[in-house]
Structure 1
Amino acid sequence: MTSAIDQPTVQLPSEVRMPMLGFGTWQLTGRRAYEAVREALDVGYRHLDTATMYGNEDEVGRAIRDSGLSRQDVFVTTKLPPERAGRERETIAASLAALGTDYVDLWLIHWPPGRDRASIASWRELLAVRDEGLARAVGVSNYDTGQLDMLVEATEEAPAVNQIRWGPALYDSRRLDEHRERGVVLEGYSPLKTTDLHDPVLVEIARDHGVSTGQVVLRWHIEHGVVVIPKSGTPSRIRENFDVFGFSLSEGELRQLDAMGR
């Protein structure tokens, strides 16, 4: 296993470091969420992804406190639901109370609130919340390039992160380049659900490295500089998904996996 300090990170604005491998908590609720997050932290994850709409911020916060880790050692992301546009302050206050912390490391707009300027108004509120120290960095989720540009044109500030569905089958080099050109970190969710883990190319690469096909998919993200947040409530799978730092993919293998998106 790789210790927390050995994990690769990406830099966000204001010198904020974000671990490239995170633990997703979508669909994990109640005791199951608490136990999964405790397991993830025990294994070595130092990046947790939650959201208001997941209904598990209380459990995530309690797991962090019970882990014995310092708050500063865990990168925490939560998200603003689109129906809360116009109630940003109320929402971040509720998230902080549920998590039991004075700040989050990253706050995202979960989905674009609509085609009107509500997204821009929400983005301005996120920037203000960041400036007040309630979030160390702010960003968006499920935005296309045009929507990113709308926010930049309105405020002259790009989101630090855009969290979207991503995986080899969804690979789009142009979209990845568009994020990099704008200084936006691409973060991929549902990496294993968006991938055929029985694909012969993936199976062969996994066999050559003595790892699972899921581990190859996660390593592929990291090799491309894409933050990735696998989710599982199963202890053995939580451990397996974290164990991706002991091998690397060749340029040829990356090209083969990239081709799954064509």
Structure 2
Amino acid sequence: MPLLGFGVYQNYTTKVSVLEAFQAGYRHIDTAQAYKNESGVGEAVRESGLKREEVFVTTKCINKTHGYDRTLKGVDESLRRFGLDYIDLFLIHDPLSGPELRLATWKALLDARNQGKIRSVGVSNYNIRHLKEIAAAGLEMPEVNQIELHPFCQQKAIVEFCRKQSIIVQAYSPLVRSKPGLIDRPEISGIAQKHNREHAQILIRWSLQKQLVPLPKSASSARISSNTNVYDFVLDDHDMASLDALDQGLPGAVTWASTLMESE
């Protein structure tokens, strides 16, 4: 799995953007059934000229489609929309369907993987108790947990638990775009000026140095390209400490945190 992924949530020019992402060097595309753009991703993969094995494609099933049979049907439908023979990574999009359906969905994904339709399986927006639920059922643990992560929402307890369980942590919303103003905080501006870099590049570099897998998204050709230029500089200890100090804890999460705190 490439360490830098390209997210296509709310991307309404998916094929064009993914082709631009491939040209910029991305080889990891993150979508979901709920995004309704799997077909655009598949078209881009086929038109890119890249070999299938050079591209890593992720999708997800959301809670309203959970359940063993519905999940297996959903895997087949995603494959049809993509026009691909297999999916590299299939995630449970969220844990909001309750314990019984969560586990049934997980079993279905494991079976789909064993059938060769999926190469690897994981979860998204899972908290520690949701991961422990899988272990308590005696099932194989996820290979990936995709959660919101950036300097303002570091979810340290979940990240630490995942690392102890050898679960790769992917970071969505790494650029905190959904909270205007945060990316322009003086702490980030100062580091960006110091390294002569864009603010977004600083945040992506922070994720990489935290050994996370960031999934920045953009429909801008310029930003798609600039977000990949993060491998020729390093944030020093002072930079990292300054960014670490911005953490607001779990309540800083944009999308799921408050709901997940209450979910069964």
Q: TM-score, normalised by structure 2?
A: 0.89
Q: Is the 8 A contact 2:170 2:214 kept in 1?
A: yes
Q: Does 1:252 align with 2:238?
A: yes
Aligned with residue 24 of structure 2, among 17, 29, 43: 43
1:217 corresponds, among 200, 203, 215, to 203
| Of 87, 93, 101, the match for 1:104 | 87
Please name the residue that 2:219 is paired with. 233
Q: In structure 2, what residue type is equivalent to 1:249?
A: L
Letter of the structure 1 residue corresponding to residue 18 of structure 2: V
Q: Secondary structure of the residue that 1:206 maps to in structure 2? A: helix
Between the aligned partners of 2:200 and 2:112, the Cα distance in structure 1 is 37
1:114 positional shift: 2.1
Q: Which residue in the other structure is 2:254 paired with?
A: none
- Residue from 170, 186, 192 that aligns with 1:200: 186
**Which residue of structure 1 lines up, in the alignment, with residue 229 of structure 2?**
243
Q: Can you give the 5+ residue segments of structure 2 that lack an aligned partner in the other structure?
A: 249-264
Of residues 225-234 and 174-183 in structure 1, the stretch that sits farther from structure 2 once superposed is: 174-183
Cα distance in 1, alignment partners of residues 218 and 144 from structure 2: 23
Q: Which moved more, 1:217-226 or 1:252-261?
A: 252-261
Query: Would the aligned equivalents of 1:158 and 1:183 in 2 still touch at CA under 8 Å?
Result: no
CA distance in 1, matches of 2:42, 2:162: 31
Residue 13 of structure 1 corresponds to which residue in structure 2? Answer: none
Q: Distance in 2 between matches of 1:180 and 1:141?
A: 15
Deviations 1:142-188 (A, max 9, x none): 11011011012213311111111110001233332111011111111
Is 1:183 the counterpart of 2:166? The answer is yes
**1:102 Cα offset (Å):** 0.9
- For residue 130 of structure 1, report the CA deviation from its aligned partner: 1.1
Q: What is the CA–CA distance in structure 1 between the aligned matches of 2:238 and 2:159, rounded to whole Å?
A: 19
Distance change >3 Å, CA 172–CA 141, structure 1 → 2 = closer
| 1:151 maps to amino acid | I
Q: Deviations over 1:177-207 (max 9, x none)?
A: 1110111111111111267111111111111
- 3-state secondary structure, aligned to 1:252: helix
Percent identity over paired residues: 39
Q: TM-score, normalised by structure 1?
A: 0.90
- State the distance in 1 between where 2:99 and 2:146 align: 21
**Structure 1: gaps of 5 or more residues:** 1-17
- Corresponding residue number in structure 2 for 1:11: none
Aligned partner of 1:55 among 36, 45, 49: 36
Q: Please identify, of 220-229 and 243-252, the stretch whose mean Cα deviation from structure 2 is larger.
A: 243-252
